[in-house]
Structure 1
């Protein structure tokens, strides 16, 4: 079983990756949207920006989560690059619905900062 999309053919065992870092302007916009002070900027990234690379990867697959569990190991400094990965652990079709599950990780400066699991469905990309 496989699904095709932005990352090519996805099968159990596939690992999708994406890295990003945020500009001060992006951090300020996120803080402003959340009603948090932007001057001075926080030393650490808002949690939503830390997990955003995982949502980007899921969005590439047209993924709709049914369940997510995450554990955060430490805060992420504003100047750190985030590297996200989703490792596909399940992929099957039942009654025309493609179910998928992932092990998810985010690293910053080589440290594992977010770890978790997610399962849901993927639609046509």
Structure 2
């Protein structure tokens, strides 16, 4: 893959109640805010489930993360649609792999940032 600094990738998904409850079961994170509805009838999406949009993009690139830093800015709820925009900030060719750095910005359906992050890792040649 010919990956270069400045390349941008995007993916979005809508979170459904079933997604949240399955993630709670899978991870064991059964915090009340994830399994009991709020005053508007919504469940709060797990932060790591929200961040998984970025892992989908990384998987498409065959990216192996070495570190990931996330800042969770506002909650995401069942019914919300979140888009992740991944921007490649650095690519350094090494023998047999590329070192890659990226920044990620997650926006909800209202255009508000819900999560930002960075990651460093590799892509094997």
Q: Is the 8 A contact 1:85 1:104 kept in 2?
A: yes
SS of alignment partner, residue 103 of structure 2: strand
Question: Gaps spanning 5+ residues in structure 2: where?
Answer: none
SS of alignment partner, residue 10 of structure 1: coil
Q: Deviations over 1:52-104 (max 9, x none)?
A: 10000001111111122111111111111010011001112112221111011
Displacement of 1:51 in angstroms is 0.3
Displacement of 1:34 in angstroms is 2.7
Displacement of 1:46 in angstroms is 1.0
1:68 aligns with 2:68: yes
35-44 or 109-118: bigger deviation: 35-44
Which residue of the partner structure matches residue 89 of structure 1?
89
Provide the TM-score with structure 2 as the length reference: 0.83
Number of residue pairs matched by the alignment: 117
Which 4+ residue blocks in structure 1 deviate beyond 6 angstroms? none
1:120 aligns with 2:113: no
